[in-house]
């Protein structure tokens, strides 16, 4: 994985003619149809589109949770499709952070322990991973909530824990799938402001799937999918209200 050290002009991710087909024969369904997409390091990109448009499939490929049927996916200049299953797992562990609509926290586990999980998988010593988890919770505004379980936290706080877990290992790419889908409007704005700050202050590349235009307004670029293809790809000049 050492070959992932990229130059400044290497895109964070790049799809070239990516097609994804599920099934075969008459049952085959094309989720992506020749998608070209280049995202620079430090961009904040929102992906939008109706159900079945291909945006979630694209997100799964970017996250190395799925592989193209045809075409290539390059992560920091490296052909991710040429990696073995184990190498893709290492890529996810060391370079990617994930945030989901459903938070995906362990119910009987404290906020601190939830955030530590990625570092446990790395084999990091207890003292170091605990310190980093505390810092990550501080970075998302959850000082004093370290011992709280998810049931003792609001929805917005749970998503902050999930974001802390996603950033604790210092990823280069944060993938967020409907991160505000389970939150009210006020908490949604708080989460988007947090993600915008991480993008701006850390230079973290952020790719977010959303169906909410108000949330997409926080991104610097919006990519609209339709029928498995990129329909519109444009810089976002709107400001969130």
d(CA 186, CA 94): 32
pLDDT in tens, 120-140: 988 899 999 999 999 999 999
pLDDT in tens, 156-206: 999 999 999 999 999 999 999 999 999 999 999 999 999 999 999 999 999
pLDDT in tens, 91-119: 999 999 999 999 999 999 999 999 999 99
Q: Tell me what the pLDDT averaged over the chain comes to.
A: 93
Q: Stretch 43-50: mean pLDDT, rounded?
A: 97
Give the pLDDT band of residue 16 (cuts 50, 70, 90). very high
CATH level 2 (architecture), domain 2-235:
3-Layer(aba) Sandwich (3.40)
Q: What are phi and psi of 27, to 5 degrees?
A: -90, 0
**Percentage of the chain surpassing pLDDT 70?**
95
CA angle 89, 91, 95 (to 5 degrees): 130
Residue 2 scores a pLDDT above 60: no
Domains of the chain, residue spans: 2-235
Q: What is the DSSP string of 15-69?
A: EEEEEEEES-GGG-EEEEEEEEEEE-TT-EEEEE-STTSSHHHHHHHHTTSS--S
């Amino acid at each position: 994985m050492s070959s992932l050290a990229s130059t400044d002009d290497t895109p964070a991710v790049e799809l070239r003619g990516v097609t994804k087909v599920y099934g075969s024969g008459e049952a085959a369904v094309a989720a992506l149809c020749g998608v070209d997409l280049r995202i620079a390091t430090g961009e904040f990109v929102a992906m939008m589109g109706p159900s079945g448009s291909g945006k979630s499939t694209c997100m799964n490929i970017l996250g190395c949770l799925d592989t193209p049927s045809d075409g290539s996916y390059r992560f920091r200049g490296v052909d991710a499709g040429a990696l073995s299953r184990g190498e893709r797992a290492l890529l996810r562990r060391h370079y990617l952070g994930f945030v989901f609509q459903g938070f995906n926290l362990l119910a009987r586990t404290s906020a601190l322990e939830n955030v530590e999980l990625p570092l446990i998988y790395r084999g990091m010593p207890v003292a170091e991973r605990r310190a980093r988890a505390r810092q990550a919770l501080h970075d998302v505004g959850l000082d004093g909530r370290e011992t709280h379980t998810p049931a003792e936290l609001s929805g917005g706080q749970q998503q902050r824990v999930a974001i802390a877990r996603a950033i604790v290992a210092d990823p280069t790419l944060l993938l967020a799938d409907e991160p505000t889908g389970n939150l009210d409007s006020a908490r949604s704005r708080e989460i988007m402001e947090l993600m915008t700050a991480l993008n701006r202050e850390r230079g973290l590349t952020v790719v977010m799937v959303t169906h909410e235009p108000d949330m997409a307004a926080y991104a610097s670029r919006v990519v609209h999918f339709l029928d498995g293809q990129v329909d519109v790809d444009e810089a976002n000049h709107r400001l969130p209200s």
